[in-house]
Amino acid sequence: MLTALGLKSVDQLFADIPKELRASPLDLPEPEPELELAARLRDLAGRNRTDLVSFLGAGVYRHWSPPAVDQLLLRGEWYTAYTPYQPEVSQGTLQSIYEYESLLAELVDLDVVSASHYDGAAATAEAALMTCRATRRERVLVSRGVHPHYRATLRTYFGGGLELDEIPVVTDGEAAGTTDLAALEAMLAEPERPVAGVIAANPDFLGLLEPMPRIGELAHGAGALFVAVIEPVSLAVLAPPGAYGADIAAGEGQPLGIAPQYGGPYLGILASTDALVRQIPGRLVGMTTDLDGQRAFVMTLRAREQDIRRDKAASNICTNQALLALAASIYLATIGPHGLRDVAASGAARAAELEAGLAAIGIERLHPGAYLNEFAVHIADARLVHRRLIERGFLAGLVLADVEPDDPSLADGLLLCTTELTTSGDIARFVAAFGEVVAGRPPVGVEAGAGGSQPVGAGAAAGADGATVSTAGGTR
């Protein structure tokens, strides 16, 4: 082959790739017997902490998943399925995608839902590109309230000439932490730099509820499209994007029956109004009847450019995420609308309980606005406090300075989250440990057992100052 190409080595095939970006040899140890290797891997895996009581959210959330979800996913016809290139013979795969798209359309209250997006960040970036194609404009505004990883992905997508500007958030007052509407209005009013789309999240990265109807009004008033970044479980109790005029909805489908995993795989949600159906990448499946009058499913829209005419593609990401979409479908169908509402309401109730417990020991919220089940607290030496709480068996959310190092307002912030899996006992023990860490005292009446937070004796409960613990043996 090299001779036919007139080349002397395989390396010449990659001459156009800068040397520092080319693959280098893997730095792997020498081979070893399988038993020894397995033992070493077990030791490495044992360093993972799976016993922590977790208050971590920040875009990926712990939820109870009905056993039916994993059990059905393990069936071979689903687990090994791949992209249906001759789709009409794959009726089962098509139906699974159709059911997913139908369920999500009801959840977000929009006309069209597509499948096959990697995760929430990629779906948000695809939504931004949709606004540019639809309006023939090249500038998109994204609120700093959108997840920092999503904003980083947007910057990558827009690195080829499109413009991406960040809308600041309010720094003080009742609206602190949410999108600065005055700044947004000013950015939209630049006639020489028309805006294609405005992107905002609800709840935002800090857990706060955004004024989504007003953001949409401002965007539409300037001729721009409005993209809502959503968390799907919250839509059981919050208004869906379609209700406040969003043109596109994007988000992460992980909370719908998909376990938290380091790096995924996850599920990107992307939906739009019918007017934008020709701009949406991915796969749209429809239902029809065959020649015998029987129900049949068809690939209604799937641009082949994604595979063979890449320079004209709406998107070059076209892998099949149908297994994760199926997980979301089974979860939603099993838990039902009332169950989903219970999940959202339980998480919110536990968050209010956590806020009250922390306030009782002098730990206040960083922002005063409304939230659902996630909020930030202000604590000096947040990273040190976070580390010491891990030593006591608690994962105290996310250190905000680690993900937003350039924002001084978040320098002493911890982002905490609760779900229906958080118990009142978890909260009481966490508040007690938090108080002890802040006061610089060793843990009182709590020992690290299974789960890292077992009380000593029956009837353990934190006192109002978080330092006194009542046990069966009396108060210490």
Cα dihedral value 58, 62, 68, 72, nearest 10: 40
Distances (CA, A) of 152 to 139, 165, 228, 232: 16, 12, 17, 22
DSSP assignment, residue 456? S
Q: What are phi and psi of 367, to 5 degrees?
A: -130, 145
- Cα–Cα distance for residue pair 426/428, rounded to 1 Å: 6
Tens of pLDDT, residue by residue over 383-423, are 999 999 999 999 999 999 999 999 999 999 999 999 999 99
pLDDT value of residue 458: 31
Query: Are 241 and 108 spatial neighbours (Cβ–Cβ below 8 Å)?
Result: yes
CATH superfamily of 336-471: Aspartate Aminotransferase, domain 1 (3.90.1150.10)
- Identify which of 120, 354, 97, 115 has the alpha carbon closest to the alpha carbon of residue 232: 120
Domain(s) of CATH 3.90.1150.10: residues in the chain: 336-471
pLDDT value of residue 319: 64
- Identify which of 260, 147, 259 has the alpha carbon closest to the alpha carbon of residue 208: 147
Tens of pLDDT, residue by residue over 196-210, are 999 999 999 999 999
Strand 469-471 and strand 461-462: pairing?
A: antiparallel
DSSP string, 352-386: HHHHHHHHHTT--BS--S-BSSEEEEE-TTHHHHH
Domain(s) of CATH 3.40.640.10: residues in the chain: 67-331
- Cα–Cα distance for residue pair 302/116, rounded to 1 Å: 11
192 CA to centre of own chain: 34
- Cα–Cα distance for residue pair 235/241, rounded to 1 Å: 9
- Cα–Cα distance for residue pair 313/226, rounded to 1 Å: 23
- Cα–Cα distance for residue pair 202/41, rounded to 1 Å: 41
pLDDT value of residue 31: 93
DSSP string, 279-328: G--SBEEEEEE-TTS-EEEEEEE--THHHH-GGG-S-S-----HHHHHHH
Q: What is the CATH number of domain 67-331?
A: 3.40.640.10
pLDDT value of residue 461: 33
Q: Which residues of the chain have pLDDT under 50?
A: 441-476
Q: What are phi and psi of 179, to 5 degrees?
A: -60, 135
